[in-house]
Amino acid sequence: MTETTQTGKPAEFYSLPAHKLTAGMSTADGQDITDVWYTDELVGYDTYTPADDPDEDDYNRSMPDDRIAGRDELVDLAVFSNTQVDGRVSS
């Protein structure tokens, strides 16, 4: 089954090495990346689940999930209708 965005366009999936992640990208599981930090070997990034309800969105944003990947580890990403940064262009 193909996932679609709110505009009816299919979501587009891709992967990037973790060291190319930036805030504003969306993960393939529908999370928004809100912050990215780096060490010599690892990349950490905060994600949250966007919601249409403003109160729920604020709550979700206040409770981010931390994720960690190796600098060159591929991270599965997607472009949805509300994705702010298309990493296919930014990379």
Task: State the residue range of the domain holding 61.
Answer: 12-81
Question: Quick check: is 56 in a domain?
Answer: yes
pLDDT band at 7 (very low <50, low <70, confident <90, very high): low
Question: Quick check: is 87 in a domain?
Answer: no
pLDDT in tens, 17-55: 999 999 999 999 999 999 999 999 999 999 999 999 999
Q: In the chain, what is the greatest distance between 2 CA atoms, to the nearest angstrom?
A: 41
Give the residues across from 88 on adjacent strands: none
Tell me if 13 sits within 8 A of 2, measured CB to CB.
no
What proportion of the chain, given as a percentage, has pLDDT over 70? 89
Tell me if 24 sits within 8 A of 35, measured CB to CB.
no
Task: Strands of 1-91 (E only): list them.
Answer: 12-17, 26-27, 32-38, 42-48, 65-70, 74-79
Question: Quick check: is 7 in a domain?
Answer: no
User: CA dist 70 to 20, 28, 35, 67, Å?
Assistant: 11, 18, 16, 11
Say whether pLDDT at 1 is over 50: no
Question: Quick check: is 35 in a domain?
Answer: yes
Say whether pLDDT at 83 is over 60: yes
Q: Residue 55: give its domain's CATH number.
A: 2.30.30
Question: Quick check: is 54 in a domain?
Answer: yes
Say whether pLDDT at 2 is over 50: no
As for how many domains the chain has, the answer is: 1
